[in-house]
Amino acid sequence: MPLKKYNPVTPGTRFKIGVTRTEITTGQPEKSLLAPMSKTGGRNHTGKMTIRQRGGGHKRRYRMIDFKRNKDGVPAKVNSIEYDPNRTAYIALLVYADGEKRYILAPTGLKAGDVVMSGKDAAPNTGNTLFLKDIPLGTSIHAIEMEPGKGAAMVRSAGTSATMMGREDRYAIIKLPSGETRRILLFCKATMGTCSNPDHALTSLGKAGAKRWEGKRPRVRGVVMNPVDHPMGGGEGRASGGLPRSRNGQMAKGAKTRNRKKHSSKLIISRRKTTN
C-alpha cells in the first residue's frame, strides 16, 4: 500500500502524508452491522471532566467486529474490504455459506473473493482463525485471545503481528510486537497473517485541525504548568521538571510501575524492550 504525499495547495496539505487506501473496495458499510456511538467529551455522569484532551470529533457509527470467530467449520467469502473510523486497521465483510454476515479485522493480502474459515479444520492460510495448538511454529499471527472463547484482545492495530515461537505444556509461547515473550493457553484462538494497513504509522495529519476531527483536544505539557497543577510544573525559566511522571505522580520513561504480584506475571517469559 503506497503512501501519498499531497501537493501544498493549502497550508493544511503542505505537510500531509496519507495512505492511498487502494485495498478498500467499497465506501458504504453493512447497515445490519452498524451500531450508534455516543461521545462523552471526557465527562462523567455528573458532567465533570474526568479525562482530559477529549472532545469534538466527527460523528461515527460503530462497526460490530467478530473478535471471537466462533463460527467454526463454515466457510465464508470475503465480500469487501472497508475502512473503519474506529480503528487503524481495515475490516473485511464476510458472508458465510448460510447467509450470515460478519465483520473481521482484515489481514494484509486478504482480497474480496477470498474464502476464509475458522476452527480446527481450517488450513493455516491468511485470514483463517485457528487454535494456537494447530498453528505452525514461526508463523505470523494477530487478533490473539488471552482467554479461551473471550475474543481477540491482543495484536489488533494496523501493521502489527506476533510470532508463534513454540509450545510448552499447555501453553503456546508467543513473541508480541512489543518484544515481550509470554505464554498463552493452547486453546485460545488467533488469526493467521499480519494486520492490514501497515503504512499507518508513516502518515502525517498535516494540521492541528485534523487531530480535532479525531475527537482529540490539545495537550499541555506538564513542565509548562504551575506546581499546583502538575508535579513537573514550576521553576524559573525552562526548568526540566525533575523526574518524568504523570499528573497524578505515576513514574514514566523507564521507571518500573508494574505490580509485582500481578497474576499474569508468571506467564511472561521475557519483558518487552525498553528505550533505556
How confident is the model over 241-264, as pLDDT tens digits?
Answer: 888 999 999 998 888 888 989 998
CA–CA separation, 7 and 16 (whole Å): 8
Assign 161 a pLDDT band (cuts: 50, 70, 90): very high
**For 123-127, 150-154, 235-239, which range has the lowest pLDDT when averaged over its residues?**
235-239
The domain total for the chain is 1
Please give the pLDDT value at position 256.
85
The C-alpha cell at 274 is: 525498553
245 part of a folded domain: no
Q: Is the pLDDT of residue 51 over 60?
A: yes
In a domain? residue 123: yes
Q: Which of 132, 114, 242 is nearest to 187 (CA)?
A: 132
| Domain membership of residue 164 as a residue range | 24-196+265-270
pLDDT at 1: 61
Domain membership of residue 109 (yes or no) is yes
The mean pLDDT value of the chain amounts to 95
Q: Does 158 score more than 80 pLDDT?
A: yes
* Spatial CB neighbours of 79, under 8 Å, sequence gap ≥ 6: 92, 93, 94, 95, 101, 112
CA 54 to chain centre: 19
Question: Would you say residue 161 lies in a domain?
Answer: yes
Residue 114, domain member (yes or no): yes
157, 162, 161, 165: which is closest to 194 by C-alpha?
Answer: 161
For 62-120, what is each residue's pLDDT tens digit?
A: 999 999 999 999 999 999 999 999 999 999 999 999 999 999 999 999 999 999 999 99
C-alpha to C-alpha distance for 69 and 55, rounded to whole angstroms: 33
CA–CA separation, 174 vs 142, rounded Å? 11
How confident is residue 2, by pLDDT bands cut at 50, 70 and 90?
confident
Q: Is residue 221 part of a domain?
A: no
User: CATH no. for residue 173?
Assistant: 2.40.50.140
For the chain, give the percent of residues with pLDDT over 90. Answer: 90
Across 39-56, average pLDDT: 96
Does residue 175 carry a pLDDT above 70? Answer: yes
Single-letter amino acid code for the residue at 159 = G
Residue 209 placed within a domain: no
Question: DSSP letter at 213?
Answer: H
- Considering the domain boundaries, does residue 105 fall inside one? yes
Residue 275, pLDDT > 60, answer: no
Interval 194-204 mean pLDDT: 96
